[in-house]
Amino acid sequence: MSRQQLGSRAGNGRDDPRARRPRLAGDPTIRRRPRTDRAGRHHRLPPRPVAARPSAPPVGVAASADTVDANPRTTGTAPRRSTAETADVARIAAHAARQVPGVTDAHPATVRLADTTVGLDLHLVTTYGYSVPAVTEAVRIAVADRVAAETGLTVAAVTITVDDLIVPGAYHADPGPPARRPEAGMRMVNRAASALLAVVLLVGGVLLAVQALLVTLGRPASLLARTGWYDALTNARWHDPDVRTGAGAAILSGLVILVAQLRRWTPSRLRVDERDGWHLRRRCVERRLTDAAGTVPGVRRARVRVRRRGDQWRPRVRATGDPAAHAEVEFAVRQELRRLAAPRTGRIEIRLLPHRRPA
């Protein structure tokens, strides 16, 4: 083997310290010849790129700053699910719902945030003329995609309630005060009763604690002494007017509270889709059916109430007009129910009162 193949320089080896150890042909320190395009025994191809596989750091040694973590949950590229707040999810969902064609307004009512999933209750105002099932399905898909993209959370369920259907040009910008709902009033009564009971229990507990402290200190306790209210209660008889009045008032109050709690209030929403829940506001449905009945020639002052029995809607129409227009009113109401994607509709009760002739 020649000195060129060994890679050593010609001349005296004492001047070059590398002359003592020969270099093989694969040594990267060997300089290439100027004309490397011509194949020959000195032509060397560049080495193939080899992908370096990341190896785990040894046990007991902390990873350095250059170590790449392959877990996407610990890297900065993946979203941190722990920082996703309820307000952020609500804002993202409302913004995504407003981008769907046919949606006039959207606001979230409830956000149920779990570890990796979230459930949403959305209230929508849509434009009349768009298919309500198509709009709700598009909103559900858009909200799920946007929330998953921006927060990394999986949307488990989206419950949609259509509060109103806006007819372009038929409604003013100011919709007026919201309709009073019976269940909202019942919630206020329950809250007031609970607050009153809590105050009574708190005051009674404080009085008993004070009286017990006085007895411990050897002071006279007015409530624990039997020389006042105890004698009055033990000497009272059923025939006394005050006793009968108090007992009657207590029984009457208890019956009123019991009936109010057991009464079946009319729900404010009508469930449309049994499989994947979305609802229509009852007042909205009744207003649309009232407008549909009013389009029949000769029908005035129409009023529609919708009740639900099982899985069927039971509309009740009251209007002033010719009783012969019964079939036309029923056809108009059924057409509007079909546009609203209503479920099975039972018998429609229609009552048309004839016009009163002036005397």
Alpha-carbon gap, residue 91 to 95, rounded angstroms: 6
Q: In what order do the strands lie in the sheet with 349-353?
A: 300-309, 312-320, 349-353
**Phi/psi class of residue 333: alpha, beta or left (left: φ > 0; alpha: ψ in -120 to 50)?**
alpha
- Identify the pLDDT of residue 16: 52
State the average pLDDT over residues 238-261.
Answer: 86
Contact call for residues 3 and 10 (beta carbons, < 8 A):
yes
Contact call for residues 7 and 23 (beta carbons, < 8 A):
yes
pLDDT band (50, 70, 90) for residue 79: very low
Report the mean per-residue pLDDT for the chain.
72
Domains belonging to the chain, first-starting first, are: 81-166 (3.30.70.1350), 182-237+263-267 (no CATH), 282-353 (3.30.70.1350)
Contact call for residues 139 and 124 (beta carbons, < 8 A):
yes
Alpha-carbon gap, residue 329 to 350, rounded angstroms: 8
Query: What global pTM score does this model have?
Result: 0.48
Percent of the chain with pLDDT over 70: 65
**Phi/psi class of residue 98: alpha, beta or left (left: φ > 0; alpha: ψ in -120 to 50)?**
alpha
The yes-or-no verdict on residue 247 having pLDDT over 50 is yes
β-strand 349-353 against 312-320: which pairing, if any? parallel
The yes-or-no verdict on residue 61 having pLDDT over 50 is no
| Helix, strand or coil, per DSSP, at residue 314 | strand
- Identify the pLDDT of residue 151: 86
Task: Give the pLDDT confidence of 290-316 residue by residue, as tens digits.
Answer: 888 888 888 888 888 888 777 778 888
- For residue 7, CA distances in Å to 14, 28, 30, 41, 46 come to 16, 11, 6, 13, 18
Q: Can you list the alpha helix ranges (DSSP code H) found in the chain? A: 3-6, 86-98, 132-151, 182-216, 229-234, 241-262, 282-294, 326-339
- For residue 44, CA distances in Å to 23, 27, 39 come to 15, 11, 9
State the average pLDDT over residues 232-236.
Answer: 73
- Identify the pLDDT of residue 223: 63
Is the Cα torsion angle 328, 333, 336, 341 positive or negative in sign?
negative
Q: How many residues does the chain have?
A: 359
State the average pLDDT over residues 56-62.
Answer: 41
Alpha-carbon gap, residue 318 to 321, rounded angstroms: 10
Of all residues in the chain, what percent are helix, strand and coil, respectively (each to 5)?
A: 40, 20, 45
The yes-or-no verdict on residue 217 having pLDDT over 70 is yes
Token pair for 163: 């509060």
Task: Give the pLDDT confidence of 115-166 residue by residue, as tens digits.
Answer: 888 888 888 888 887 888 888 888 989 999 999 998 888 888 888 888 888 8
Task: Give the pLDDT confidence of 17-42 residue by residue, as tens digits.
Answer: 555 555 555 555 555 555 544 444 44
| Cα angle 281, 283, 111; round to 5 | 30
Is the Cα torsion angle 66, 72, 77, 83 positive or negative in sign?
negative
Q: Residue 126: which of 161, 96, 94 has the closest Cα?
A: 161
Alpha-carbon gap, residue 266 to 276, rounded angstroms: 22
The DSSP call for residue 352 is E
Q: Residue 332: which of 308, 309, 298 has the closest Cα?
A: 298
| Helix, strand or coil, per DSSP, at residue 47 | coil
CB atoms within 10 A of CB 122: 26
Is the Cα torsion angle 144, 147, 150, 151 positive or negative in sign?
negative
